[in-house]
Amino acid sequence: MEIPVKKIGEFVKGERVEGFFLLKSVTLKTTNSGGKKYLDLVLSDKTGDILGKVWEIKPEHEELKSNTVFKIRGTVNSWQGTLQLKVEHASKVTEEDNINLDDFVQSAPYTSDEMFNTIKDTVDNMNDIDIKNILNRVLEINKDKLMYYPAAKSNHHSIKGGLLYHITTMLKLAENICVIYDFLNRDLVYAGVILHDMAKIKEMSSNEMGIVDEYTLEGTLLGHITQGIKEIEVIGKEVNADSKIIMLLQHMVLSHHYEPEYGSPVKPLIPEAEMLHYLDVMDARMYDMKKAIKETKENEFSERIWSLDSRRIYNHGMYEKNN
């Protein structure tokens, strides 16, 4: 019986599949019972990611390396409501396979140049000179990595250009919300959006495909919130910004996770910071829900989504067809 060649987004529980996949990570692990060694693989293509399991390690598996495309055959299983691939065979691609690495990299729907220019235009139209100077310096320092960095290792916007995509989508939300709540200081809201996750560039180590290999030492010990308020302090003083402006921007970054258990030692104490938190949550959750819907057949429930409190999202099939 011929094994179907499928994309990850087309996988169905119980079927055997074959295809070309990018290995985002390869981790050697040991079972709790018996101490048997096995491999955890994170497989990826344009349609999504899936965890692969190699229960029987063979000599051929020694060639498995992250950031490399392999031809893989296996059986789709489900574990705790999430699809996995039990890997039966893996082989290196050859020239005859005519593989282009970019075909396997998930990326934002807009070019990095387009998204960066959207952010830059927002800054150029600000009124507060201190906020403008801080943001221009932050963008100048971080531009090269910002063009390809994801917003997360595995959750929302964990794609090439994901951080830019997250910021620009939030800016669109902020622009409309500030029309309704017109007492808000637009410059503060927009600045909070641009700055809130910027230090993820220092928190994570990513290659130019937008794949995070690991967290940096500073990122692990301090986290992006601490790194972010530190950068605002340094740059604010460098451009001679007013101390109150520096403190307000730091407060927005410091409080945007809202709860101590999520990394924020204080809750928002100004309305712009409160709004930033909900803009962030809204965009992250809508991204994950849209992704779940795309990967789920009409009138069915998705697998459990960890980032959405392990909820299963229902695809009712009545969505707008804009994207």
31 near 42, Cβ under 8 Å? no
Residue 293 lies inside a defined structural domain of this protein: no
Distance CA 191, CA 228 (A): 13
Same structural domain, 43 and 171: no
Write the CATH number for 193. Answer: 1.10.3210
Distance CA 233, CA 305 (A): 37
84 near 78, Cβ under 8 Å? yes
Give Cα 297 distance to the centre of its chain: 23
Same structural domain, 87 and 128: no
Same structural domain, 124 and 80: no
pLDDT of 113: 97
Same structural domain, 64 and 193: no
pLDDT of 187: 98
Alpha-helical segments (H) within 55-212: 112-124, 129-146, 162-180, 186-195, 200-203
Write the CATH number for 14. Answer: 2.40.50.140
pLDDT of 186: 98
**pLDDT tens-digit profile, the chain (323 residues):** 567 678 888 888 899 999 899 998 888 888 888 778 888 999 988 888 899 999 888 877 777 888 888 889 999 998 877 889 999 988 888 878 888 877 888 899 999 999 999 999 999 999 999 999 999 999 999 999 999 999 998 878 999 999 999 999 999 999 999 999 999 999 999 999 999 999 999 999 998 889 888 899 999 999 999 999 999 999 999 999 999 999 999 999 999 998 988 889 999 999 999 999 999 999 999 999 998 888 888 898 988 888 898 899 999 989 887 65
pLDDT of 198: 97
Of 81, 104, 127, the one marking the end of a domain is 104
Distance CA 273, CA 257 (A): 10
Distance CA 60, CA 156 (A): 33
Same structural domain, 254 and 187: yes
Same structural domain, 233 and 251: yes
46 near 106, Cβ under 8 Å? yes
Same structural domain, 137 and 252: yes
What the block records as the tokens of 165 is 């995509």
Same structural domain, 197 and 247: yes
Same structural domain, 269 and 245: yes
Of 104, 132, 166, the one marking the end of a domain is 104
Distance CA 126, CA 172 (A): 15
pLDDT of 155: 78
Number of domains in the chain: 2
Same structural domain, 52 and 87: yes
Residue 322 lies inside a defined structural domain of this protein: no
Domain that holds residue 212: 112-287
Supply the DSSP string of 32-67, one letter for each residue. Answer: TTT--EEEEEEEEETTEEEEEEESS--GGGGG--TT
Same structural domain, 150 and 54: no
Same structural domain, 154 and 90: no
pLDDT of 323: 56
pTM of the model: 0.85
